[in-house]
Structure 1
């Protein structure tokens, strides 16, 4: 099976069912994030203050940031598994996707477990190293993605100065970069937690040093990503 898989092109390794599930999960996550930006109906006292333009812009940003970060995270798991000769496909969790949208609408909190990349070992026993590296691929790609989004945020500040309105080019760059930076840092750190079926538990079983380094870097990036105005003050007012 390994030889047959290696002869397929990149897109051919993503089945029609997997493409469908990825697109559905991508869309639902973007909707959940967009609805969550309002703060949730439980905390909104005046619905007339919710701007349609802002929601539309947020949806575009969510499609690029949340969707892209999630898809590439799952694809990193998939292609790492394929590298070891296994077959892997993402499968959505419809109930969890619906729950994510409902929670976002009610509370304004985006918490989603949209599905998982399922690995078919074809009867082979996966080693701790293989499982660890396959698990590490997801958080690692999020840490890598955090860099261009951080650069995008900084570019918005340098171009626009203190002007951070979302409806200007500098403001859009800042907003896009800030959200992308935060989302990828959050995904990396959350998935590195050594609990349940999360990646961190499998990585810890494989290599303690790799686990500690990765989760510390994720935590530092998460902390920095949640202080975007610090960079505005540093670059504009210093």
Structure 2
């Protein structure tokens, strides 16, 4: 590689930088991403209205339907991320470093208004990843639920990490803002590792106790 080639070589920056990723057309009244795909902004009360409608129509089946919606969304999100990031960085998603991948995921959450995504590897020796989301728009804070209720995020994260790891991992939520907590917390791991966790959550065990029990 000669000097001219080196100087003219573009260095990919932050793909999800808001000023570059989100494009607005005031004349047309539209929002789109940097590839020209339309973006849609909607208020939180619309989400809550959809949830309320589902509760009235299908009752106790609502959590299963929402989790299924999250899985479907996760499949499409992964396919889109794989295509867009490979095009931008000039290499397949599988060739991104862990640091690059985590950064892209957290920025993706932020720029789309899904809150703040954090991955905690402190429990990796126990075979699980702790995922936390702050300011999630998918759950109503302090709504008084006894069980975690971010089913859309559970389905989304489960499929996303299945695609990323190539393994049939599962996702179990252990804390939720609907219960009065300041954030949503999820554990990602293989089914046999999370089987007792799901039972602990059902019994009403708090997240701190669950995480303490997981310590290897």
Same fold flag (TM > 0.5): no
Q: Quick check: which one's strand share is greater?
A: 2
Q: Quick check: which one's helix share is greater?
A: 1
Q: TM-score, normalised by structure 1?
A: 0.34
